[in-house]
Amino acid sequence: MSAGGDPLPLLAALAVSIEALVDLTGPGHYLDWRFIQISGANFAVIVLMLVVFALALFLPFPGGRKR
């Protein structure tokens, strides 16, 4: 899939990522921005890692304030 001409490339990437998460039996879906090519599944994992990293920084730790 080429997202180069898409006005909302991030949304298209997100849609492909979710599709990749759900359907793991078909051939892989790839995102293509100029010289960057990445599979939808790998893109989803990287986004998820960034989300988890941000949550780990900002979510309060249980019992943390008592220490």
Partner 1 sequence: MSQTPASGRAGERSTWTGWLRAHTLDAIPPEHLLPDTQPAYVASWIYVFGVLALTAFVVVCVSGLVIALKGPTWWQVSSRGHFVNSLHLWSVELFFFFMVVHLWGKFFMAAWRGRRALTWMTGAVTFLASIGTAFTGYLVQQNFDSQWISTQAKDGINATGIGAFWNVLDFGQMLLWHVALLPLAVSVLIVLHILLVRTSGVVPPIGVDLDGRVEGAAAKEAAP
Residues within the interface to partner 1 (CB under 8 A): 45, 48-49, 52-53, 55-57, 59, 61, 63-64, 67
> DSSP secondary structure string, 1-62?
---TT-S-HHHHHHHHHHHHHH--SSPPPEEEETTEEEEHHHHHHHHHHHHHHHHHHHSPPT
Closest CA to 30 of 57, 3, 58: 3
Q: Which C-beta is closer to partner 1: that of 34 or that of 65?
A: 65
Whole-number minimum distance, CB 62 to partner 1, in Å?
A: 9
Q: Which C-beta is closer to partner 1: that of 8 or that of 21?
A: 21
Whole-number minimum distance, CB 23 to partner 1, in Å?
A: 16
